[in-house]
Amino acid sequence: MFAKLGFLLLIVLFGAFAFIGGAMTPDAWRQSIAGLGGRLSERLHALPSTASLPADAAHAAKAAAAGSAAPVEGTATPAVDSTSPVPLDALLVMAKVDPLAPARGQPAYALQLGQFVTSTEATAAERRFRAAGLDLPMTRLAAVDAENEPWTVLAIGRFASPAAARQAAPRVQDALHVPSPPVIQLPLSAKPSP
């Protein structure tokens, strides 16, 4: 009886400490954990399932998984050299985002990195984001809020549709270590900053 009560008390205490620890976690840790979860989810969704492959490819995948050395007719066997190591930098894909540029005269979309009260704050943030190495255009926009107060909006990318911008958001988020950037529509007069 006391063992069951002690076990239940242990479970309740563990849950309470986990809740308190989660509530007191610094924002930087939460962002990095959320980024890891997003990357894991993205990679899991990118894995092909044998149900969605054509019959020959599904058979080849099953044969490869079973360790069969017999090639399947009509499929190519990739040459894999497991003795030579691959540089880690060659494996990284996340810092490269290829935007599909909008046609001339069509609306362009971007990911908002932040809104800043002063131009110096925007300049400092822009330098920090450019140092990350993403070769996407950055745009600085002058904006006013409902109280007619001036703001500087910093945006990255120039995408043809909101869907294309949302598709690039996880990579931008991971490369620049920012929380989920919202998609904004750029004014037709907006030019990327030099």
> What are the φ and ψ backbone dihedral angles of 69, each rounded to 5 degrees?
-95, -5
90 occurs within a structural domain = no
101 occurs within a structural domain = no
166 occurs within a structural domain = yes
One domain, residues 122 and 181:
yes
Q: pLDDT tens digits for 73-117?
A: 444 444 445 566 666 555 554 444 555 566 676 788 889 998 888
Q: pLDDT tens digits for 123-181?
A: 898 888 888 877 788 888 888 888 888 888 898 888 888 998 898 888 888 888 888 88
One domain, residues 119 and 62:
no
Helix 27-46 × helix 162-176 angle, to 10°: 130
- Higher per-residue confidence, 15 vs 21: 15
Alpha helices in the chain (DSSP H): 2-23, 27-46, 55-66, 88-91, 119-130, 162-176
Domain of residue 9: give its range. Answer: 1-67
pTM of the model: 0.47
Chosen domain end from 39, 67, 95: 67
The CATH code of the domain that includes 119 is 3.30.70.1070
The count of domains in the chain is 2
